[in-house]
Amino acid sequence: MTATLRPHPPGSPPRAPRPTVAQRLTGRRAAALVLVLAVLLVGLASTLLGSAEAPARGDGYAATAESAVVADQLETFPGSDTAPVVLVATKGDADLTSADTSSLTALAEQLGASTAHAQVSEDGRAATVTVPVRTSEDSDTQVQTIEDLRADVADQAPDDLTVQVTGGPAFGADIASSFDGANFTLLAVTIGVVAILLLLTYRSPVLWLVPLAVVGIADQLAGTVTAAVGDWSGLPFDAGIVSVLVFGAGANYALLLISRYREELHEHDDHRIALAAAWRATVLAILASNATVVLALGTLLLASVPGTRGLGLASAVGLVIALLAVVLVLPAALALVGRTVFWPFVPRPGEELSHEGLWAGIARRVVARPGAHLVGGLAVLAVLASGLLGASVGLSQTDSFRTASESADGLVTVGEHFPAGSAAPFAVTTSEGSTAATASALESVDGVTAVIPSGTDGAGLARLTVIGEPSPGTPASLDLARDLRAVAHEVPGADALVGGGSAQLLDARTAAESDLRTVAPLILLVSFAVLVLLLRAVIGPVVLLALNAASALAAIGLGAWLDEHLLGHPALDVQVPLVAFLFLVALGIDYTIFLMHRARAESAEHGTREGVARAVARTGGVITSAGIVLAAVFAALGVLPLVVLGQLGLIVGLGVLLDTLLVRTVVVPAATALIGDRFWWPGRVASRR
Per residue in 656-677, pLDDT tens?
999 888 998 899 999 999 998 8
Q: Which of 117-121, 236-240, 412-416, 683-687 has the lowest mean pLDDT?
A: 683-687
Q: Is the dihedral angle over the CA atoms 392, 395, 400, 405 positive or is it negative? A: negative
- Whole-number pLDDT of residue 133: 84
Does residue 104 contact residue 161 with C-beta atoms inside 8 Å?
yes
**Is 455 or 183 the better-scoring residue by pLDDT?**
455
**Is 399 or 618 the better-scoring residue by pLDDT?**
618
Residues 606 and 254: their CA atoms lie apart, in Å, by 28
Phi, psi dihedral angles at 349 (to 5 degrees): -60, 140
- Whole-number pLDDT of residue 16: 45
Ranges of H-type helices in 636-682 = 643-658, 668-675
Residues 631 and 642: their CA atoms lie apart, in Å, by 19
- Whole-number pLDDT of residue 688: 47
pLDDT-derived band at 349 (thresholds 50, 70, 90) equals: confident
pLDDT-derived band at 236 (thresholds 50, 70, 90) equals: confident
- Whole-number pLDDT of residue 651: 93
Does residue 1 register a pLDDT over 50? no
**Is 411 or 325 the better-scoring residue by pLDDT?**
325
Per residue in 437-481, pLDDT tens?
999 999 999 989 889 888 888 888 999 989 888 877 778 888 999
Residue 661, amino acid: L
Q: Which of 193-197, 490-494, 549-553 has the lowest mean pLDDT?
A: 193-197
Does residue 592 contact residue 530 with C-beta atoms inside 8 Å?
no
Does residue 355 register a pLDDT over 50? yes
Residues 349 and 517: their CA atoms lie apart, in Å, by 54
The whole-number average pLDDT for the span 231-248 is 86
Kindly list the strands in the beta sheet with 162-166, ordered across the sheet, starting from the edge strand earlier in the chain: 119-120, 126-134, 82-90, 162-166
pLDDT-derived band at 354 (thresholds 50, 70, 90) equals: low
- Whole-number pLDDT of residue 9: 55
- Whole-number pLDDT of residue 319: 94
Rg over alpha carbons for the chain, rounded to the nearest Å, is 30
Q: For the chain, where do the domains classified as CATH 3.30.70.260 start and end?
A: 401-505
**Is 140 or 263 the better-scoring residue by pLDDT?**
263
- Whole-number pLDDT of residue 5: 45
pLDDT-derived band at 634 (thresholds 50, 70, 90) equals: confident
Strand 448-456 versus strand 461-468 pairing type? antiparallel
**Is 17 or 4 the better-scoring residue by pLDDT?**
17
Per residue in 27-65, pLDDT tens?
778 888 888 888 898 889 888 887 777 777 666 777 788
Residues in the chain: 689
Does residue 393 register a pLDDT over 60? yes
Does residue 336 register a pLDDT over 80? yes
Segment holding 550, helix H or strand E = helix 539-565
Residues 100 and 182: their CA atoms lie apart, in Å, by 39
Residues 239 and 647: their CA atoms lie apart, in Å, by 17
Fold category of 401-505 in CATH: Alpha-Beta Plaits (3.30.70)
- Whole-number pLDDT of residue 19: 63
- Whole-number pLDDT of residue 353: 58
- Whole-number pLDDT of residue 686: 55
Per residue in 82-91, pLDDT tens?
778 888 899 8
Q: Which long-range contacts (CB under 8 A, 24 or more apart) does 37-46 make?
A: 38/217, 38/325, 38/328, 38/329, 38/332, 41/221, 42/217, 42/220, 42/221, 45/221, 45/224, 45/225, 46/224
Per residue in 57-77, pLDDT tens?
666 777 788 998 998 888 888
- Whole-number pLDDT of residue 190: 80
Residues 6+ apart with CB under 8 A from 16: none
Residues 282 and 280: their CA atoms lie apart, in Å, by 6
- Whole-number pLDDT of residue 689: 45
- Whole-number pLDDT of residue 235: 87
Does residue 291 register a pLDDT over 70? yes
- Whole-number pLDDT of residue 571: 83
- Whole-number pLDDT of residue 504: 87
Does residue 559 register a pLDDT over 70? yes
Q: Which of 97-111, 369-383, 384-398 has the lowest mean pLDDT?
A: 384-398
The whole-number average pLDDT for the span 163-185 is 77
Ramachandran sector of residue 362 (left: φ over 0; alpha: ψ -120 to 50; beta: rest)? alpha
Does residue 176 register a pLDDT over 60? yes
Phi, psi dihedral angles at 117 (to 5 degrees): -150, 115
Does residue 144 register a pLDDT over 80? yes
Task: Please give the DSSP secondary-structure letter assigned to residue 253.
Answer: H
Phi, psi dihedral angles at 643 (to 5 degrees): -60, -35
- CATH code that applies to domain 82-166: 3.30.70
- Whole-number pLDDT of residue 539: 92
pLDDT-derived band at 543 (thresholds 50, 70, 90) equals: very high
What are the beta bridge partners of residue 509? none
- Whole-number pLDDT of residue 180: 66
Alpha carbon distances (Å) from 241 to 1, 131, 238, 539, 593: 39, 36, 6, 34, 23
Ramachandran sector of residue 338 (left: φ over 0; alpha: ψ -120 to 50; beta: rest)? left
Alpha carbon distances (Å) from 222 to 169, 229, 250: 32, 10, 12
